[in-house]
Amino acid sequence: FSLDKYKIEEKSLRDLEIQVEKGYKTRLELLQQENKYHITLLALKKIEDNYQQLTRDFETKIGLEPGELGIELKDIATPTPWSLNEEEAIVLALKNSLTLQALTLETELAKIDLERAKIGPLLALEQKKLENNLELALLNQEQSRAEVKRVVGNQYASLRQVEEELALNRTHLEIVKKNYQLVQQLQAADLISLLDQISAEVELLQAEYQMRVAITGFYLEKWKLQQLIGLELEV
């Protein structure tokens, strides 16, 4: 079914009405054409109803109010890519980690306690205890450093992954936009069916929705990494 078929049937009906009035055609032929016209009209109405229902379902799926969904051919602003490499991010995280700072201070205090104790008389058992305290502080410090590196490395990998997904969604959206613009031109010339036009609109709406989801995902992963390395949250 296509919109031009409906227009043809409508024009044929109007022409036949004129011919019947002039006596060139019979009433039976007019009734037959009226039947064709109404069948075509019902088919068009069914397609429009299906499209409206599809739009409402899609709005509900993505959390929009009825009638809020709309085609946007303007560019969707995309975020600036992450600039720091993994090594730079880890260096900042180690520098700004409050936990690591506290453990470093604990290690320094353990060293001071041991050095002070060595100045005066010290039982072997007490010295061993202070040495164990220092060894434990150093171990906690190293474990904390390793954990910071691991967590930041994982988060950096997650951010790079969503950046790649964002780039793929951007490319897909541009392709879908060009296809939609072509469909608009073909529809204006009555060269495609109404179903093809509706399909192109739905595809564009889905691509725009996926692009916004990808942008949101990028910002979430970016903010997680900013928190880990001690930077202020920024868009």
> The tokens of 146 are what?
């390793």
86-229: CATH topology is Outer membrane efflux proteins (OEP) (1.20.1600)
> Which residue bears the tokens 């509706």?
198
- pLDDT for residue 75: 65
- pLDDT for residue 154: 96
Can you tell me the distance from the alpha carbon of 55 to that of 93, in angstroms, rounded to the nearest whole number? Answer: 46
Burial of 82 (0-12, 13-18, 19+ CB in 10 A): middle
Q: Is 190 left (phi over 0), alpha (psi -120 to 50) or beta?
A: left
Other beta carbons within 10 Å of 107: 20
Report the Cα 82 to chain-centroid distance in Å: 17
Other beta carbons within 10 Å of 42: 10
- For residue 73, pLDDT over 60 is answered with no
Give phi and psi for 25, each to the nearest 5: -130, 160
- pLDDT for residue 21: 86
Can you tell me the distance from the alpha carbon of 235 to that of 219, in angstroms, rounded to the nearest whole number? Answer: 7
Q: List the domain boundaries for the chain.
A: 3-61, 86-229
- pLDDT for residue 173: 92
- Under the banding of pLDDT at 50, 70 and 90, the label for residue 64 is low
- pLDDT for residue 95: 92
Most confident of 46-55, 86-95, 190-199: 86-95
Indicate whether this model's pTM tops 0.75.
Answer: no
The residue among 21 and 72 whose pLDDT is bigger is 21
